[in-house]
Amino acid sequence: MGDPAYGCVAGLSCDEVWKRCYPQPRKRDQPCKATPTCAAYQTAPHCSNCAAGLVCNDYTRRCQEPPSKARRTCHDSLPCVWNATDPAATQLSCERIRNECFPKPRVDDTPCVTSSECGTGLTCEVGISMNECYDAPRKMGQPCNAGNACASDLACDPVTYRCVGPAGLKEPCGGVQTCKAGLSCHPGLQRCLPAPRQEGQHCAKEPGLDCAATAPTGEPLSCDYLNTARCVKYQTHATTSNVAGAHCYPGRPCIDGLTCSTSDLKCYNNPRTVGEPCVPANPPERCGPGLICRDDTHRCAPAPIMGEMCYPGFACSAPAYACAGDFRVCARAADARLAGEPCATGADCGGSAGLVCDATRYPYCAAGSASARRVK
């Protein structure tokens, strides 16, 4: 029937809680009991009835290996592995707020209480809920403040309190956030754009914000700062471009050789050619040689010649022709008119012998007696 006292055989001991026999010392996952007089679990090599290399987890009351890797759970009865006999080994200690194992001394981005806990080249950054070890000076993305400055090529963002470097293309910028070389921060947009700006990009009439001289295809660029606030190509001739492409105004000029018409805000030749809008008082909008600006159409046209209509504001081609009387027809200059040409006085017909300004056939120059036909 066995021992009436239910004692355990040699090599085993009775567990007080489970009332079962287990090996002595206890093996992994077997019930255990910590030694009451052993309080320094972090340094003591063996403070329980567990076998060597095991500790008694006071929460589970089971023997287990102590955590030997960073970020493993730990507590007073489950200390992190500490190899006191091997200084070169990675040493761990339990961080009591998170109850996790971390290297000792602490490395970058691991919790700390004071800077003395951090490794060489690190300092303890005081956080809202947790302190961490970070590089000194701080690197990109690490927290910063007045006492823990960023590296010389970085800046401390006053909003995020993180170290930031120059921003790349189309990335946010402004304040301490500068842009990388070849970029500039566009105000209002607060994004990094190429400097100088390219076609279609935001621009402003300020150094570093203006457009490149030309597009990659060679066309000149200008900042359309009055309308779209973007870089646009100089506008081409109104008769060879679609309407939208020919419009011009301050900030969207015409290409060389063209000027912007004040009448329809389109680009035309300078000087103007036949059929183009003109303004006689404005040199960039005047008509070219041999052309006049018609008062009725305000467009350039050839000056009328012999036999063509004329009127004030649409003078004949001078000096060869002049507008003759009320007929509003161009004729040769006075004193040089031929038979059949309009006249006002006999002096108009003086260019050919025997011509007079005929009274009966007035007002045309005709052959005849000066005494009989001269208009008085």
Question: Tell me: the pLDDT tens digits for 213-236?
Answer: 888 888 888 888 777 888 888 877
Question: Which of the residue ranges 25-29, 129-133, 150-154, 191-195 would you say has the lowest mean pLDDT?
Answer: 129-133
Q: Is the pLDDT of residue 183 over 90?
A: yes
Most confident range (mean pLDDT) of 41-50, 88-97, 99-108, 350-359 is 99-108
Mean pLDDT of 340-356: 74
| Confidence (pLDDT) at 161 | 87
CB 100 within 8 A of CB 73: yes
Question: Tell me: the pLDDT tens digits for 123-137?
Answer: 888 776 678 889 999
| Confidence (pLDDT) at 41 | 42
| Confidence (pLDDT) at 352 | 62
Domain ranges of the chain: 1-104, 105-165, 236-302, 305-376
The distance from CA 316 to its chain's CA centroid, rounded to whole angstroms, is 58
CB 251 within 8 A of CB 226: yes
| Confidence (pLDDT) at 139 | 92
Mean pLDDT of 314-343: 76
What is the C-alpha separation between 100 and 80, in angstroms, rounded? 9
Q: Is the pLDDT of residue 371 over 70?
A: no
The model carries a pTM of 0.46
Counting residues of the chain whose pLDDT is more than 70, the rounded percentage is: 85
Q: Is the pLDDT of residue 3 over 90?
A: no
Annotation: CATH topology of 105-165: Lipase, subunit A (2.10.80)
What is the C-alpha separation between 347 and 282, in angstroms, rounded? 38
Cβ neighbours of residue 265 closer than 8 Å, sequence gap 6 or more:
247, 248, 249
Neighbours of 214 (CB within 10 A): 13
Mean pLDDT of 345-362: 70
Most confident range (mean pLDDT) of 16-30, 37-51, 79-93 is 16-30
Angle at 217 between CA 213 and CA 222, to 5 degrees: 30
What's the DSSP call for residue 282? -
The distance from CA 54 to its chain's CA centroid, rounded to whole angstroms, is 61
Average pLDDT value over all residues in the chain: 81
Question: Tell me: the pLDDT tens digits for 243-280?
Answer: 444 678 777 788 878 888 998 888 889 999 899 999 98
What is the C-alpha separation between 278 and 294, in angstroms, rounded? 8
At residue 4, the 3 state secondary structure works out as coil
